[in-house]
Chain A
Amino acid sequence: MRLIFTTILVLAIAAAVGLGLTWATATRGTDLGTLTIGAWTAQPRIGTTEINPYARATVARSGELPIGTGDGISFIAKADDKKRPLDGRCDVVVSGVTPAARFWTLTLYDTKGRLVANALQRYGFTSEEVVRNADGSFAIRMAARARSGNWLPTAGIDRYQLVLRLYDTPVGVATRTQRDAPMPTIATAGCP
């Protein structure tokens, strides 16, 4: 009787621990093979056949298609440079320059990777659209209410994430630091 009870307990612990870990890693992702520059992270190998099993599980669960390496790379930011989560009710400024690429796009998604509806139907900026300063740098302001310059509406949602995609770029598996890939800064400018 005691043996049966112990066996059941072992199996129950195994199932809880194993599936719990799998759920956690597939939902939140892992740091395995990630490249972090400032507030931005990328997984350079996600678009290759060398994609790690955790990234594969995450991709299968979310239903997205990773960008192929010959196409580009995507950097994601869920918090600003001071690790404060991106809040749709605050003014957040993304400014600076981007790594070398033929084109880039910056897109705002909710926590599940969906676009955020707004009356302007503006979900992001491309490198061609963005208004730049004389030195080529730019500043994009995420806010709930209209702002002058490059305004990206957040619709006032609680949490959001930014994805910067570089297309036809040398940034990839060999990239290590900010010097190889100068990413723009993210700063929360003020909250109501």
Chain B
Amino acid sequence: MIRFLLTLLAGILLGGVVHLVSVLALPRIATQDAYSRLVPMTKTNSVVALPLTAPNESPMPFMDPAFAFAVCRYDLSTGPIKLAVPVSQAYTSVSFYTRNDVAYYAINDRSAGRRVIELDLMTEAQHAALPEDEDVTAADRLIVDSPTTTGLIMLKALAPEPGEMPQAQASLAASTCKVQTDTPAAKR
């Protein structure tokens, strides 16, 4: 009897370890996470509009049907990315996710404070490699550090009423996301 109880106890303790390891491993081994779902319908380093959220064709669960969505799936291995999103009439926001779907940065039109949300996305190593005076001369440049080399940028524009959806989609269609080929210093 005691032997059986010990067996049970050992099993439960080991089960706790299995539980912790599997919870931590799940984001890495999931095959139906948001990033994996978006890979077939997006292109690397360019903005692709998602279809309107509808009952039977939603790429992900829990998408807000009042919004137009576009995705830039990025890969920073060839250099930093420059993102420009024109602000729509109602509300526009840009959210950044790592390869494992962790939201690490989000900004909306009002906090960007301009007609166009413009920012540079780079890895921490690329940021560190920028010329020293670069940050000072371009103080208005918004630089976002990505924790992972690949990830997702989700662009959203609100259509407060269904009739404004075409405008929201149009403002996202005008946004760009591309690898900076020339050095940032030469551009400005």
Q: Please give, as numbers and ranges, the residues of chain A lying within 8 Å of B13 by CB-CB distance.
A: 14
Contact B33 A63 (CB under 8 A): yes
Nearest-neighbor residue (CB-CB) of B104 within chain A: A49
A-B contact count (CB 8 A): 200
Say yes or no: A13 contacts B91, CB within 8 Å. no
Q: For B188, what are the chain A residues with a Cβ–Cβ distance below 8 Å?
A: none
Q: Which residues of A are found within 8 Å of B156, using beta-carbon distances? A: 71
CB within 8 Å of B: which A21-41 residues: 21-22, 25-26
Closest Cβ–Cβ distance, residue A32 to chain B (whole Å) = 11
Contact call A167/B91, Cβ cutoff below 8 A:
yes
Residue of B nearest to A30 (CB): B23
Interface of B is mostly: mixed
Closest Cβ–Cβ distance, residue A28 to chain B (whole Å): 13
Partner of B160, one of A9, A107, A127: A127
> Is A66's beta carbon under 8 Å from chain B?
yes
CB pairs A–B below 8 angstroms (12 shown) = A10-B14, A13-B14, A17-B11, A21-B19, A22-B26, A49-B102, A63-B32, A69-B106, A105-B66, A114-B58, A115-B58, A165-B64
Interface residues, chain A, CB within 8 Å of chain B? 6, 9-19, 21-22, 25-26, 46-49, 51, 53-54, 56-57, 59-72, 74, 102-103, 105, 107, 109, 112-117, 123-124, 126-129, 163, 165, 167-168
Binding site for A on B (CB under 8 A): 3, 7-8, 10-19, 21-24, 26-27, 30, 32-34, 36-37, 53-56, 58, 60-66, 90-91, 93, 95-97, 100-108, 110-111, 147, 152, 154, 156, 158, 160-161
